[in-house]
Structure 1
Amino acid sequence: MSMKIRLARGGSKKRPHYSIVAADSRMARDGRFIEKLGTYNPLLAKDNEERVKMDLDRAKYWLSHGAQPTDRVARMLENAGVLVKKDRANLKKGVPGKKATARATEKSAKEAALAEAAAAPAPAPVEEPAADEAAAE
């Protein structure tokens, strides 16, 4: 039997509340579970102690028996010091999208045109003799 430590959603619409459970991986997300290990309330502030409550001894027990935590639960266990932190790299996080790239190239083209116009020497104005000087001659 393949075991998972995962979140089971509860709460009403737009007011989520999760239970951290050890369950058979074949069961539905909110379906039958073996044991409730704790709770997670994402509506609370990140530094609030009530945000994640978990029985760490039971979580260690299930991990020692081969239960695989989901990504979110693994992060909670890493923060609690039960699991070793993994290096995660979201390589696409800093890459701008199509429209942002198009805007950036458009902006750089405009700036290049302005810089080119400013760098080109302006033609020196031709000084015409004043009307008084022309009449005097």
Structure 2
Amino acid sequence: MAMKIRLARGGSKKRPHYSIVASDSRMPRDGRFIEKLGTYNPLLPKDSEDRVKMDVERVKHWLGQGAQPTDRVSRFLEAAGVTEKKERANMKKAVPGKAMQERAEKKAARAAEAEGSDAAAQVEANEAAEKDAAE
């Protein structure tokens, strides 16, 4: 049986409250679980002690049984000192897609072209001003 230590959502709309649970990975997120290991309340300030509460002994027990924590729960465990910090993949979600990159390149080319023509017009204006000043 593939075990997970994950968050189960509770609370009302716009007021989330999560339980940290050990469950079978095939069960739904808010469905059946084996044991409740703690709570997480994201509405509390980050420095509040009540934001994340865990039964560390039981979490260690489940980790010893082979349970895999989800990414969010593993961050909680790292903060609590239960597991060591691991390297995470730096997802490139902020990098625009292929089409957007092409549009950005075209826009930059148009801007450079317009700037080049503005610069040429500026040079011509300066030369004309110098001629007028010399006469």
Mapping of 1:1-137 within 5 angstroms?
1-96=1-96, 99=100, 102-103=103-104, 105-107=106-108, 109-119=110-120, 121-122=123-124, 123-124=127-128
SS at match of 1:124: helix
Distance 1:28 1:117, change over 3 A: closer
Tell me the CA shift for residue 116 of structure 1.
4.3
For structure 2, the residue ranges without an aligned partner over 5 or more in a row are none
In structure 1, C-alpha distance between the alignment counterparts of 2:109 and 2:80, rounded to whole Å: 47
Distance 1:110 1:28, change over 3 A: closer
Aligned residues: 127
TM-score, length-scaled by structure 1:
0.76
- Higher mean displacement: 114-123 or 15-24: 114-123
In structure 2, C-alpha distance between the alignment counterparts of 1:41 and 1:101, rounded to whole Å: 43
Quote the sequence identity (%).
65
Bigger radius of gyration among the two: 1
For structure 1, the residue ranges without an aligned partner over 5 or more in a row are 128-137
4+ residue runs over 6 A deviation: none
Q: Which amino acid is 1:64 matched to?
A: G
RMSD after superposition = 2.5
Tell me the CA shift for residue 32 of structure 1.
1.9
Q: Deviations over 1:54-79 (max 9, x none)?
A: 11111011101111111111111111
